[in-house]
Amino acid sequence: MYRLLATTRPAIRNPAVLHRLLSTSVETMQESSIQSSKVLTLETMNPNVRKMEYAVRGAIPIRAEELRDQLKKEPGSLPFSKITPCNIGNPQQLNQKPLTFLRQVSALMEYTDLLAPENIDVTRKLFPEDAIERAKRNLSYVGNAAGAYTQSLGVQEIRENVARFIEQRDGFPADSNNICLTSGASGAVERVLDILVSSPNVGVMIPIPQYPLYTATLAHLNAQAIPYYLQEDSDWQLSAADMERSLSEARAQGIDVRAMAVINPGNPTGGCLLEENIAEIVRFCEREKLVLLADEVYQTNIYTGTNPFVSFKKVVSQLQSPVELFSFHSISKGMIGECGRRGGYYEAVNIDEKIMGQLVKLASVSLCPNVQGQMAVDTMVNPPRPGDASYDLYKREIDAIYESMKRRAKKLAHAFNSLPNMSCNEAQGA
């Protein structure tokens, strides 16, 4: 990226200098806002939004967009012809092939004339029978209107499929009434944090290194991010001593620590927690009266036989723990990779019934999740089965994407480890 910056202006290689320049820029804007006749200025806006930072959409990506616009308007003006964004997990922008079955079902749902009796014979020459039947079934869930609002918590039948998926994964019952479909896992995390934070004194424990969704959302809610540190020398497992230290230091400062967020498999570490470490975390949250937030969007991206994915829901059920748990999943990651469709869900476990009612109210404010995102969640949790017309192709595509991700994860770790004074753990997942 320094090379890109140097093509049009001097590169700023010192982070401290860059921070001062950005801060000066904000201060300059604030000064000009004071003299403005506008009602909405940097001075009058919500200060929590102003202080919020979201690095994956920060200064470097903004500069990349400027350079992209320059290439569009002035081809050949830079010593490269294309910019590849690497600031965020966005698989299809990096040429990951969409899953054929998912796109076939989506196409049929979007253009329902293909399912009309007078056209169905032609449609059957283009689409497999199971994709046609899935599209008809999904349309029946929404009154044959894929552009209409659904229930606020999401289509009931799809929530039931999510519950079956969780039961098959973990071996313990799941209740569709405890599942809410959302516009991506980010929307689910934001909603849960929204209901957790009641004052600026509320704190949430977050892992370091972390995905910046958590610090950004907590800043927006004017709450406290309480860092705890993952242990690189033990493949990014969590240390009981560090969890205790982080919590006790925050509470000693008078912070009302209410929850602990865990990302497993880890983003950005690539670590995958062992079952005994998960049990330790569950017991810790139970003992310290913390709500547990389990971000599990990379659960299918496991590259090692030593650290299989184990869900927090499974461990909570095995321990018969009363700990309050929200777990999150998404279509954006894994082999689905449909980031732009914005589909995800959360499952609530051991949550007070009155709070569940408040969560329904929060969901109703947004009317409903993205309908095509909901349908993609259905494919993720209820894919073609052996014997279905689309099964062989679906499995080949899933396997090819998985093996490609696994190869690239190993290749990247090897590249880092070949650099002088650099070490990098091999990715176990994510």
Q: Which of 208, 212, 261 is nearest to 236 (CA)?
A: 208
User: pTM of the predicted model, to two decimals?
Assistant: 0.84
pLDDT of residue 279: 97
Question: How far is the C-alpha of 294 from the C-alpha of 383, rounded, in Å?
Answer: 24
CA dist., res. 328 & res. 116, Å (int):
37
Report how far Cα 198 is from the mean position of its chain's Cα atoms.
Answer: 24
Question: What does the mean pLDDT of the chain come to?
Answer: 88
CA dist 276 and 278 (Å) reads 5
Which of 154, 131, 133, 132 is closest to 142 using CA atoms?
A: 154
Please state the separation of Cα 367 from the chain's center in Å. Answer: 21
User: The dihedral of CA 149, 154, 155, 156: what is its sign?
Assistant: negative
Q: How many CA atoms lie within 13 A of 296 on its CB side?
A: 24
> Could you say which residues of the chain have pLDDT below 70?
1-36, 54-57
DSSP letters spanning 191-219: HHHHHH--STTEEEEEEES--THHHHHHH
Using only C-alpha atoms, the chain has a radius of gyration, in whole angstroms, of: 23
Tokens 């209410």 locate to 258
Task: Please tell me the predicted confidence (pLDDT) of residue 28.
Answer: 52
pLDDT at 27: 54
